Structures are given as structure tokens and as C-alpha cells.
Amino acid sequence: MYYNWKENTNTEELKVVCNLIKNGEIVIFPTETVYGIGANAFDEKAVGKIFMAKGRPSNNPLIVHIADKQKIYEIAKDITEVEQKLIDHFMPGPFTLILKKTDKIPNIVSAGLDTVGIRMPDNVIARGIITFSGVPIAAPSANVSGKPSGTMVEDIRRELEGKVSAIVDGGESQIGLESTVVKVIDEIPCILRPGAITPEQIEEVIGIVDFGNGIFAPVEEDEKVESPGVKYKHYAPNKPAQLVYSEDEKDLIFGINRMIKELKGDVVVLGFDEHKEQIVVSEHRFICLGSKDNLKEIAQNIYSALRKSDELLGELVIIEGVKRDGLGIAIMNRLLRSCGYNYWEF
């Protein structure tokens, strides 16, 4: 079933969707970050359907979504003062906190770990579904595992329709990148996956921040991870991709054009609006990520641009990168993973 709630949430349809969740089915729903594919977090069999629909490895943990902060204390325990400060400042929002889980959360949700990621979305539709379902919802991004996440239903409907019981269309995602995932280690917030909540924002609250493995380099194959989006291949287009960056725009444009010439123009370029006229590639092979000075716009467009690149012929996808600062950390994290860490800095 498909429900269009871009303008208004239909109360009768909301009841249907919530009953599906209660009865062990899975649904696709919008959040402010990306679309999620969710199930009752307390229902082991229902959560198993998520892994089946996505083709997701079972050792990749899920995030549990809530609509009321008080629910945290039902599914997590031993919350420290630092963790509470993070909850108070960043929930609701694009923020996930790794906490010690209670026995209410099945092992399938946490990939057998004693921790679970908890998030409170800042999206009316998501919060409504969670609230009226009466249960927390375990949900990864709505996409086939390894492919770009969905920021609009049009991008994911074809690959997931028939694998879920309902699709709720709430329009384009506001942020476009998955949440920032943090675990507090020795009283220091450690970013396991960067997102719209930046290191600088966390420092303002706690005074210090650290980074986990897997931000700009792959983790070891046998390493256990507590955050999704860290271990396995993610966000990748169908064809090989190359990420390029330089602080010198002239060097960057020269380097990209040299690559295009070597491949006789058989490329697709994901680049910035300001560089469109300078990059020597056919107009229909240039996909605009937005303005080079607008990181929020770039973040919102990444996944849809990667999906558009699959519709075009080309031997290689060349992607312009950004400075690894603020929101740029999250952008480069996603682009590096989409390229399989194929990265050139001119």
C-alpha cells in the first residue's frame, strides 16, 4: 500500500499503518534524515523481515526510534550524566546515542551486542507513527543494502515495493544524510558515524569530542561495530566511482578534465553548480550537487545524485569532494564509502 502524506497526514491511513506495525509487518516511513524501513523493535520476527527486505547482514545493528524521551529508560539502562546531557540537547533531532540496552530489545536489533542505538526523529510523520503504534520502531535506512539511502520515495519505491506492507510518502527528506551516531567512552562523546550534528555542536555541550574507527577509512573485516553505516559497503552507485578534492579550484578542475580526457568523455560527473561550465563533459552527464558553498544543499542531494548516475552511461563516476570540516565531515564520509575509498587529492 502507498500513502501520500506530503501535504497532510490522513488519520484513517495512519491507523492502518500503525496496525501493520503492531501486527508484525514492516513499513517505509519518512524522517528528517532519510527514509526508514521499520518494524516493532520488540518483535524479533518482525525485525527479521527488515533484514530480509534489505538483504542486510545480521551483524549490522539497527537503530531504535522513539517519540518520547521517557521511552529511553524502558529500553536503555545505566545512563550517565554525559549521556543525559546529549539526550537533553540533541533529541529530538538527527542524533543517535549508543546506550546499554535492557532485555526488552531483542538481540537481532543490536546484532548480539549489549548496546543499542536510540534516536528520536524530528519529523511529524515519523513521531506520529511511533506514538500511535505504541512501540519503539527499529529502522535502518530504506534501501537495498549497499545502495544509496532513500531521500524521496521515488528513488526507493521500485526496489522495495512488494517487500514491505506500506510505503508512506512524506516528500523529500530535509537533511538527506543519516543521523550522527555517538557513543560515550570514558565520559568522552565518540562519533562513530558523522551526520548533521557536527563535532563542533557536541563540543559546545560537553567540551570535548573524539572519533571512532571507520570515519575516513574502512574498519577491519572481523571488527564488531555498534553503529550502522560503518562496516559494510554503502551508498555505492552501480559503476566505479572516484572522489576528488583540492583546496585549489584550478587544480581541481584541471585534474577532473584530465581524467575526462583520458576516458574520452565516457564519465558521469557529480559536481558543483559553479564548476558546470568549466568541466568538459556533456551537459547530460553532469549532475549538480548544489553550490560548493552550501553544504546543507550538497548533503541533501548526495543520494539522489548517486542514484541518477546509475541512469546514465559511463565508465566512471567522478565526484567532487568538500573540505573535511563541520558538516563536510559527514559528506566526505558518505562519499568515500560510495567510492570504495577511491580518493584523489590534487
Angle at which helices 295-309 and 153-160 pack, to 10 degrees?
40
pTM of the model: 0.94
pLDDT of the residue at 328: 97
pLDDT of the residue at 109: 97
In order of start, what are the domains of the chain with their CATH numbers?
2-181 (3.90.870.10), 241-345 (3.40.50.11030)
pLDDT level of residue 19 (50, 70, 90 thresholds) = very high
pLDDT of the residue at 235: 81
Q: Is the pLDDT of residue 114 over 70?
A: yes
pLDDT of the residue at 217: 81
Give the model confidence (pLDDT) of 72-112 as tens digits: 999 999 999 999 999 999 999 999 999 999 999 999 999 99
Give the model confidence (pLDDT) of 121-153 as tens digits: 999 999 999 999 999 999 999 999 889 999 999
3-class secondary structure for the chain? CEEECCCCCCHHHHHHHHHHHHCCCCEEECCCCCCEEEEECCCHHHHHHHHHHHCCCCCCCCEEECCCHHHHHHHEECCCHHHHHHHHHHCCCCEEEEEEECCCCCHHHHCCCCEEEEECCCCHHHHHHHHHHCCCEECCECCCCCCCCCCCHHHHHHHHCCCCCEEEECCCCCCCCCCEEEEEECCEEEEEECCCCCHHHHHHHHCCCEECCCCCCCCCCCCCCCCCCCCCCCCCCCCCEEEEECCCHHHHHHHHHHHHHHCCCCEEEEEEHHHCCCCCCCHHHEEEEECCCCHHHHHHHHHHHHHHHCCCCCCEEEEECCCCCCHHHHHHHHHHHHCCCCEEEC
pLDDT of the residue at 234: 72
Residues in the chain: 346
pLDDT: is 284 or 16 the higher one? 16
Q: Determine which of 13-22, 208-217, 315-324 has the lowest per-residue pLDDT on average.
A: 208-217
Q: Is the pLDDT of residue 214 over 90?
A: no
Q: Is the pLDDT of residue 225 over 80?
A: no
